[in-house]
Chain A
Amino acid sequence: MLNEAAVKELNEIRQKYPNARAALLPALYIAQREFGHLSPEAYEAVSEILGVPKAIARGVATFYVMYKHKPMGRNIVQLCTNVSCMILGAEKLVDFLKNKHGLEPGGTTSDGRFSMVIMECIGACGTAPAMLVNDDFYENLTEKYIEEILGKYK
């Protein structure tokens, strides 16, 4: 079940859109935040509050890769490996994360601290390689810098 604040948030979002289906995307983000990922319960909660059938909500959500479709670690590393980042060594960083932290693309560390998702160009080509950790943005990555960054997230 969603807590009262989240229900309120969802109802407010609903008001911003002409119909309930239009409010799905932001609503799903809230549910994902509350439930950890888009679990059946998360869809049910959104469906209940917006009045959008849960099968439809799931259909919409699965179109987008940026939702969490399965349980994930506490922090999410989104590392870009598209052309610019690749040329500037992103793939080495992938190996680094794997060897040093046991963090594989699409995987989660055994302590549940990090999950990693490979991204396709996050718009930082000029300062590649780049990544996001949760909502924070990092560029000009090196192995050392990554170590420093990861240390900030528990």
Chain B
Amino acid sequence: MIKVTINGKEIELEKPVTVLEAARSAGIKIPTLCYHEQLEKYGGCRLCLVEVEKIPRLQTACTLMVTDGMVVRTETPQIADVRRGILEFLLINHPLDCPYCDKAGECELQDLVEKYGPAKGRYKEKKRKAPESLEDPVFVRNMERCVMCTRCVRMCDGVQGASAIAIINRGGHSHMEPFSGGKYDCEYCGNCVSVCPVGAIMSRLHRHSYRPWQVKEKTETICPYCGVGCTVIAQVRDDSIKRVIPKIGSSVNNGMLCSRGRFGYEFVGSSERLTSPMIKKNGVLEQATWEEAISLTAKRLGEIKNKYGGPSIAGIASPRCTNEDNYVFQKFMRVALGTNNIDSTARTGYAGTQKFIENIFGQGATANIISGLSNSDSVLVIGGDPTAINPILGLQIRACSRKGGNILAIGHIKGLEKFNPVTVSPRFYTETLLLEGIVSALKNKKGLPGSIPALEAKIKDISTSAKEVENGCGIAEKDFIRFTDTLSESLTPSIVLGKDIAQSSGGSYKLMLISAINYLMNARIYLLSERANEQGVLDMGCAPDLLPGYRPLSFAEFRKRYENAWKSPISEKPGLSIFEMVDSAKSNALKALYIMGENPVFNLPNSKAVKAALKNVEFIVVQDIFLTETGKLADVVFPALSWAEKEGTFTNMERRIQRLRKAVNREGMEDWRIISEVAKNMGVKLDYSGAEEIFQEISRISPLHRDLTYEEIGKGGAIYPYKGEPLRGVMEDIQMHKGSSVNPDGKLYLRLERPLFHSGTLSTKAPALVKIYPEAVARVSPAVGEALSLKSGDMARVSTRTGSLELPVNIDNKLDNLSVMLTNNFEDKGAFSLMEYTIDPVTKAPVIDANEVKLEKVLA
């Protein structure tokens, strides 16, 4: 126990902290400027100076650690004098343009000067001049206002890990700059803006559009983009979101956001939003009333059900919609339409991967707390760049490295390259051999634990030597040994697994090998998740083989339970997966398709073929916020409310259930309400007063969500397995598929780029993200570019068996010589329009890694 006296108050402390922290814990305020709780201590501004007995000079409270018996005074005439003097110094160069500055009202300098500062400075010299920089599309930099606290730099370098900005020059000339001196070349997380105490770096999105004190509504909700599920605060004025900021202390992201979460909100107010229902008449979508659209939908679905039976109808749910939307959706499909044909784009990798791994290790094996990653002593990364796909999770991996942990990367992971990864990059299509090598090495070093015989049976068959890895994968034996040694010496390892594995040839076999590594290392495994409610969509039973609560449809006992609750029979026949729906449409067996918040014509590989297949379907309903490629094919289109306009819950990749709260008002209906109206018109009662009532039903009948309430979720306590029970002991036989081998020599392959700045097509409706990453580009290595004399910016034709696109080329130094990378985000320019797939028979995920591509220069 450490005892200190601050301003005469005795404070007892368990462990040594700084004087500042000790004072704050006792409610004593000490002014600070360079200190920030998220950042490493700096001691630069000197505002926090305090008097400490037996130390002759004033000390900085933010850096000085308490010692037993220390006596501190924080308010004396001398200290007041010093503070006034420091503030006067800061104002020598400060422009004092508060009336014009967006920060006024929440500016720390303004507050400090108001409280401690001199009314008037005595310096007569000319102030430093630096024109406000508007060279960047997202940030405005005003270096006249900079107080040199270095908070932005410590954020970018020490926490975000992007190290894109620095203090340049010396003395009175120093200020903060990105490398180019103008435009940023960075991750655009905006976390530097969050911590800047003054108006020196600000976001251009809300420039001069409001004052901090004019914000009436501050809604705490969840980011709509990825499966991390960051808490965001939407600041609203006049029913429009002005700014989205993080919350310090929130459990998942603790004061941090990524570019999508911070700058991607503008789609909400987009003028392209759907405003009215539409009905297709003579091949053209025309505006219709809600009544018309609802009754037509009900009528047509009823007719089709009667004529062809429930299994001729299918539904696609949405990993962007809430649990409540998805629950009602699957209930509607099962009860009103009598079919298990329900699926979502979680099928493109996440669902199958999770099922595969949890079949071996038990339900919940992939539900791990994201912040735990930074406490691992090693993180093995495979199948995607976490810093782009799930950026806030990526930060935890960077933090792990900073704390001395090892990053083990299979393949080059761009966002981690500055974090001393131990990398092994196998040649194309030899990843399997490498994984076999790792499993063999671990088996020899660690032995078999003996707890999962089915997996051990598979592991016993594997024996691949370092030499074989060297010959097959092109990884030097010593590098391979260094990799496996580092891994095997780890005591608290984690594995971060991206979708590229499930989407590659032999995906399920690779998953078995990764499971084996997980098993031999006793590791924790994290599945990257690209959509905010990808987990929730599965938990709600929006899958052909699952009922709510992630319960297998094949278990009669669960079916019975839901049949009783819903007072309706449930077909025991598993439904069609999303890809089987496409096949069924192709063969004309599928007669109706109900799509909620999804765009399969763009978001499924071989999108052209998907489009052709869907054209065969008699009746298509689409609920969405924009008129998507899929919406254009629909017979009825309903405008839905967006993420910001409704209540509900999302379940993130940790399986933490979190509350979405309405930030702005808009006329219209939530997805679930539209469905419930259609049901009503079909004579099926699916009535709820609001999202909360739906959740009450879920928590009543889903064994997993038992007794959960909105109130509890709001407090942040809804962490897996909640109060419910995960399913244990249902291991099925481990099945896997080795895939076919490919000899890539001399060919180019089209690969999917998963960019940091985009997510589906949603982000392309957010102007700021489009400014950061404006268009689809074909990314190739310098050697590939050179062979065709292509420079960055030149146009190239990218062709595969399914078509071709003309795209600007971007030369990427870090790329291999076999790949052409392309995103699937920009309308008419999606990689999926050029990709064919096969289906992994075990995970049911699409395999897209064998699309040969031709690249030609297009002459201007």
Contacts and interface: CB of A to CB of B under 8 A. Distances in A.
A63 B179 CA distance: 14
A59 B164 contact: no
A55 B163 contact: yes
A58 B418 contact: no
Interface in A50-69: 51, 53-56, 58-60, 62-65
8 contacts: A40-B179, A55-B163, A55-B165, A56-B166, A58-B177, A59-B166, A63-B169, A65-B170
A43 interface: yes
B148 to A, nearest CB: 12
B169 A55 contact: no
A59 B418 contact: no
B164 A55 contact: yes
Contacts of B170: 62-65
B418 A56 contact: no
Given A43-B179, A58-B179, A53 B164 contact: yes
A62 B169 contact: yes
Nearest to A65: B170
Interface string B152-193: 010001000011111111100000011110000000000000
Nearest to A43: B179
B128 to A, nearest CB: 16
Contact of B157 (A43, A56, A58): A56
A62 B171 CA distance: 11
Contacts of A64: 170
Contacts of B153: 59
The 8 closest A-B pairs by CB, nearest first: A59-B166, A53-B163, A55-B179, A62-B168, A55-B166, A62-B169, A63-B170, A56-B166
Interface size class of A (residues with CB under 8 A): 10 to 19
Q: Which one of B153, B162, B163, B164 has the greatest number of beta carbons of chain A within 10 Å? A: B163
Contacts of B165: 55
Nearest to B165: A55
Interface of A: 40, 43, 51, 53-56, 58-60, 62-65
Contacts of B177: 55, 58-59
A54 to B, nearest CB: 5
A64 B153 CA distance: 19
Nearest to B176: A59
A56 B162 CA distance: 11
A117 to B, nearest CB: 15
A62 B165 CA distance: 13
A56 to B, nearest CB: 5
A136 to B, nearest CB: 27
B590 to A, nearest CB: 53
Contacts of A58: 166, 168, 177, 179
A46 B180 CA distance: 16
Contacts of B162: 53
Contacts of A63: 168-170
A74 to B, nearest CB: 26
B157 A53 contact: yes
A65 B179 CA distance: 18
Contacts of B180: 40
A89 B197 CA distance: 49
A8 to B, nearest CB: 20
Contact of B178 (A55, A60, A65): A55
Given A43-B179, A51-B418, A56 B163 contact: yes
A134 B179 CA distance: 28
A28 to B, nearest CB: 14
A76 to B, nearest CB: 20
Contacts of A55: 163-166, 177-179
B813 to A, nearest CB: 9
Nearest to A48: B813
Given A55-B179, A58-B168, A58-B177, 19 more contacts: A40-B180, A43-B179, A53-B157, A53-B162, A53-B163, A53-B418, A54-B179, A55-B164, A55-B165, A56-B163, A56-B166, A58-B166, A58-B179, A59-B153, A59-B166, A59-B177, A62-B170, A63-B168, A65-B170
